[in-house]
């Protein structure tokens, strides 16, 4: 059957053209271990096209090719324009509709860690995300794979994961100058006994506002970022020098060797000295 020639059914009000629906039957292995797709396609719709659901058992990703798609998720409503990516947990109350012509790619999918990704991403960005070239390539590849009689479920899983991962990656081009300057300041002064107030002061920002801004764009508090920076440097010194643990703690800006050992063990489950012996003798 040529899916490109399928015409909208009479009860699909507002659908002008569709490619698909392309169905995929995931294996038991995919359901347990991979990201997997149920079905997807490409629609061109206009008013009165509307979908309203109280509950559906999948997640939905959609890419707006042209026009605008209006989207509701629980009590939140937004308008996704051309190039936008929409991510919905269809197990929650949701809907989407067209007021004017809109073309969008979409697929319903699931996987063992999709809920975690959804909660992580939508906590920061609601349900609508700006698109990027890499995301568009993955959407195109998924739809092409679904068109085949036997879409490779490992390739489909990889492509879905690439979309979720790219949505989670901070676009450095959109990072505020204050965040970039703060990171540069920490990379230069991590050896010093600096505080959040010191960093915010360098940027002429209120410490509380700065902390919120930094976390929004790095998914890490300034304290967490500075600690991770110091610990990465400490690992390098443990492996590349013969400095003592005390000397390394001082070189990396820790207030004491006790503080250094405690922080290192909390992150790595072993002490700095044990880490050095294991890695150097590997």
* CATH code for the domain in which residue 100 is found: 2.60.120.280
The verdict on 197 and 165 lying in the same domain is no
Q: Among candidates 69, 153, 87, which has minimal Cα distance to 123? A: 87
The pLDDT tens digits for 55-94 are: 999 999 999 999 999 999 999 999 999 999 999 999 999 9
DSSP assignment, residue 172?
G
Query: Is 27 within 8 Å of 8 (Cβ atoms)?
Result: no
- In this structure, are 145 and 187 located in the same domain? no
Inter-residue long-range contacts of 194-199, CB under 8 Å, 24+ positions, other chains counted: 194/226, 194/253, 196/222, 196/223
- Burial class, 232, CB count within 10 angstroms (exposed 0-12 / middle 13-18 / buried 19+): exposed
Mark whether 144 and 55 lie in a shared domain.
yes
Q: How much of the chain, in percent, has pLDDT values that exceed 70?
A: 92
Q: What pLDDT shows up at residue 49?
A: 97
Question: At which of 153, 169, 185 does a domain end?
Answer: 169
Determine the pLDDT at residue 68: 97
Statement to judge: residues 179 and 203 lie in one domain: yes
What is the token pair recorded at 31?
């359901």
Q: For residue range 202-237, list pLDDT tens digits in order.
A: 999 999 999 999 988 888 899 999 999 999 999 999
Asked if 253 and 164 sit in the same domain, the reply is no
DSSP sequence for 184-210:
HHHHHHTTS---HHHHHHHTT--HHHH
- Of the candidates 147, 169, 191, which is a domain's last residue? 169
The DSSP annotation for 216-243 comes to HHHSS-HHHHHHHHHHHHHHHHHHH---
Looking at the chain, which runs of residues are DSSP E strands?
15-23, 35-45, 50-53, 59-66, 69-73, 76-80, 84-89, 94-97, 102-111, 128-130
Same domain, 30 and 164: yes
> What's the whole-number mean pLDDT along residues 242-250?
95
Residue 248's domain spans which residues? 174-280
Residue 8 pLDDT > 50: no
Shared-domain flag, residues 34 and 160: yes
Whether 130 and 89 share a structural domain: yes
Count the neighbouring beta carbons within 10 Å of the beta carbon of residue 4. Answer: 11
Question: Which CATH number goes with the domain that contains 222?
Answer: 1.10.10.60
Question: Among 11-15, 34-38, 218-222, which is the least confidently predicted range?
Answer: 11-15
Shared domain check, 119 and 221: no
pLDDT at position 173, please? 57
Tell whether 135 and 212 lie within a shared domain.
no
Which of the four pLDDT bands, split at 50, 70 and 90, describes residue 50? Answer: very high
Given 142, 169, 196, the domain boundary residue is 169
Specify whether 188 is located in the same domain as 153: no
Max mean pLDDT among 33-37, 120-124, 212-216 falls in 33-37
Higher pLDDT, 278 or 230: 230
pLDDT tier for residue 254 given thresholds of 50, 70 and 90: very high
pLDDT for the residue numbered 170: 65
Q: Is the pLDDT of residue 3 over 50?
A: no
Q: Are 53 and 95 in contact (CB under 8 A)?
A: yes
Residues 140 and 224 in one domain: no
User: pTM for the complete prediction?
Assistant: 0.70
Task: Provide the domain count of the chain.
Answer: 2
């Amino acid at each position: 059957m040529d899916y490109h020639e399928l015409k909208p059914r009479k009860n699909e009000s507002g659908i002008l053209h569709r490619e698909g629906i392309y169905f995929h039957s995931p294996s038991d292995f995919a359901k347990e271990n991979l990201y997997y797709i149920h079905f997807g396609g490409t629609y061109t719709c206009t008013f009165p096209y509307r979908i309203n659901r109280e509950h559906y058992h999948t997640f939905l990703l959609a890419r707006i090719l042209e026009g605008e798609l209006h989207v509701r998720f629980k009590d939140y409503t937004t308008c996704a324009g051309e190039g936008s990516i929409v991510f919905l947990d269809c197990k929650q109350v949701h809907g989407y509709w067209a007021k004017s012509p809109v073309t969008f790619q979409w697929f319903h999918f699931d996987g063992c860690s999709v809920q975690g990704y959804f909660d992580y991403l939508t906590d920061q960005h609601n349900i609508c995300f700006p698109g990027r070239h890499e995301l568009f390539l993955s959407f195109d590849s998924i739809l092409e794979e679904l068109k085949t009689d036997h879409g490779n479920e490992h390739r489909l899983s990889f492509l879905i994961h690439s979309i979720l991962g790219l949505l989670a990656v901070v676009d450095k081009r959109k990072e505020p100058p204050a965040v970039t300057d703060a990171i540069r300041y920490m990379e230069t002064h991590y050896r010093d006994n600096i505080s959040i107030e010191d960093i915010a002061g360098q940027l002429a920002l209120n410490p509380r506002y700065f902390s919120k801004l930094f976390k929004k764009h790095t998914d890490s508090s300034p304290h967490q970022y500075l600690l991770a920076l110091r610990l990465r440097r400490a690992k390098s010194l443990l492996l590349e020098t013969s400095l003592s643990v005390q000397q390394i703690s001082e070189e990396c800006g820790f207030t004491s060797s006790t503080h250094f050992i405690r922080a290192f063990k909390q992150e790595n489950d072993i002490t700095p000295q044990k880490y050095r012996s294991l890695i150097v003798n590997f």
